[in-house]
């Protein structure tokens, strides 16, 4: 298993380019199940999760070609309506095949995802939503087994705003008979992109980008083309890298991102003392003279993303003062804290609240990645820790960041990928 070896203290400057959004691709790819023919997905990031989704869709008979960042998906011949455990256990977003399969073919057998590294991640909203659309659902031997003659429209209210459940129900409802109303729908940019892609395919959806989506079912959809939006979490991670480890007085420019999608991160970085400038598709961050401790509470979009919580803690570890970081989306998502503490951080966690007391220095050590965003926080910390930090099990980071070490090297970081010890 690969590891990253980071020698801290090298100031970052220059320009970094952001890739397509992982969480958009993971919704767009299964959406192609809804219409036979050849779909084209541009600006697709090179990530392990995208490879996992490719393999899963291939087991269902889809033909997927890749040329650079362009995926060509031929969904003319679907040979299986099953998402096996082998794939779903690697990536929870595999559950996105449920809606399209039941919507188009009236049946699906999808492995239940189970928990993840930091705790339970239920799929009850996906299942209840599909039932309201008329699917009969049984749980059999760890699988969701869904059947329906043809789905019908329904009024659905999500008790909790869920990205995945909104995406799944949108896809299923696109081919249902009649109108579906989704109240408290997720408004994340990745859901907006999925909605727009479905509309290009011929779906009739009103209320795009709002919490109230109305889907008028159609009989058939056709293949479409789409350019994936930039990854706001990759952009946000580099913005924090710039604020944390940027060269004093000079900016790191983050290109090919959407500044509107990272608004909450811009505000918090400015509050912490960084200078942030934006253009149509770029953000530049100049590190603060003095980094100030700032509280953050994660929330659904446009609030501060839970996927940036770990990285924010890394920044606050060396700020002056004490900050309180609360995760309201995932209560147990603090696996990075004990590892960050090994570098000298002063953090205590009680329930879903981390209290971070800024320290003057961090010292390099061996640390272990436990999940995708935790890995990002460890790399960030390694950039400013004195001496050498080894981040083990970096396969987690390859799920969601394309060539992170190369992008950091280009900004001046001393980071190398090496073969790590086996566990």
Using CB under 6 A as the criterion, which residues of the chain lie in contact with ligand UD1 when the complex forms? 23, 26, 92-93, 121-126, 160, 162-165, 186, 190, 306-307, 329-330
Smallest distance, Å, CB 371 to ligand UD1?
10
Cβ 253 vs Cβ 328: under 8 Å: no
Smallest distance, Å, CB 208 to ligand UD1?
18
Which residue is listed with tokens 């996906």? 126
Smallest distance, Å, CB 106 to ligand UD1?
22
Which residue is listed with tokens 């696109």? 174
Cα–Cα distance measured from residue 196 to residue 218, given in angstroms and rounded to the nearest whole number: 15
Query: Which CA distances in Å does 183 have to 115, 156, 188, 256?
Result: 26, 6, 14, 32
Cα–Cα distance measured from residue 57 to residue 221, given in angstroms and rounded to the nearest whole number: 18
Q: Which helix (H) or strand (E) holds 337?
A: helix 336-341
For ligand UD1, the closer of residues 264 and 286 by Cβ is 264
For ligand UD1, the closer of residues 93 and 213 by Cβ is 93
Cβ neighbours of residue 413 closer than 8 Å, sequence gap 6 or more: 6, 10, 12, 245, 383
Which of 48, 81, 46, 41 has its CA nearest to residue 64? 41
Residue nearest to ligand UD1 (CB): 164
For ligand UD1, the closer of residues 85 and 330 by Cβ is 330
Catalytic-labelled residue, pool 51, 116, 357, 410: 116
Q: Catalytic residue at 257?
A: no
Cα–Cα distance measured from residue 59 to residue 55, given in angstroms and rounded to the nearest whole number: 6
For ligand UD1, the closer of residues 252 and 354 by Cβ is 354
Cβ 273 vs Cβ 291: under 8 Å: yes
Cβ 340 vs Cβ 312: under 8 Å: no
For ligand UD1, the closer of residues 374 and 384 by Cβ is 374
**Which of the residues are catalytic?**
116
């Amino acid at each position: 298993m690969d590891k990253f070896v980071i020698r801290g203290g090298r100031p970052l400057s220059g320009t970094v380019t952001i890739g397509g959004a992982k969480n958009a691709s993971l919704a767009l790819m299964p959406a192609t199940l809804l219409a036979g023919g050849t779909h084209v997905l541009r600006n697709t990031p090179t990530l392990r999760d995208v490879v996992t989704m490719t393999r899963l869709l291939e087991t269902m008979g889809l033909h997927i070609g890749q040329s650079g960042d362009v995926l060509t998906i031929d969904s003319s011949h679907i040979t299986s309506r099953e998402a096996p455990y082998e794939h779903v256990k690697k990536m929870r977003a595999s559950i996105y095949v449920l809606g399209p399969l039941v919507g188009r073919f009236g049946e699906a057998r999808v492995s239940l995802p189970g928990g993840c590294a930091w705790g339970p991640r239920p799929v009850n909203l996906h299942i209840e939503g599909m039932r309201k659309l008329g699917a009969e659902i049984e749980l059999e031997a760890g699988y969701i087994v869904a059947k329906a003659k043809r789905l019908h429209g329904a009024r659905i209210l999500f008790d909790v705003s869920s990205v995945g459940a909104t995406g799944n129900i949108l896809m299923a409802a696109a081919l249902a008979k009649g109108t579906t109303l989704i109240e408290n729908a997720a408004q994340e940019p990745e859901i907006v992109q999925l909605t727009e892609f479905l509309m290009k395919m011929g779906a009739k959806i009103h209320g795009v980008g709002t919490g109230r989506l109305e889907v008028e079912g159609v009989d058939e959809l056709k293949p479409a083309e789409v350019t994936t939006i930039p990854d706001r979490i990759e952009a946000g991670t580099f913005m924090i890298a710039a604020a944390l480890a940027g060269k004093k007085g000079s900016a790191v420019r983050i290109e090919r991102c959407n500044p509107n999608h990272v608004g909450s991160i811009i505000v918090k970085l400015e509050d912490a003392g960084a200078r942030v400038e934006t253009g149509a598709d770029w953000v530049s961050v100049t590190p603060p003279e003095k980094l100030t401790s700032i509280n953050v509470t994660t929330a659904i979009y446009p609030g501060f993303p839970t996927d940036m919580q770990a990285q924010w803690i890394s920044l606050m570890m060396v700020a002056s003062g004490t900050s309180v970081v609360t995760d309201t989306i995932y209560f147990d998502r603090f696996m990075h804290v004990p590892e960050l503490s090994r570098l000298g951080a002063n953090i205590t966690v009680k329930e879903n609240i981390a209290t971070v007391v800024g320290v003057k220095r961090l010292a390099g050590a061996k640390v272990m990645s436990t999940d995708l965003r935790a890995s990002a926080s460890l790399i960030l910390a390694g950039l400013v820790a004195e001496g050498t930090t080894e981040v083990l099990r970096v396969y987690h980071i390859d799920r969601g960041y394309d060539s992170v070490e190369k992008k950091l090297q280009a900004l001046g970081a001393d980071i190398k990928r090496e073969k790590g010890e086996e566990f």
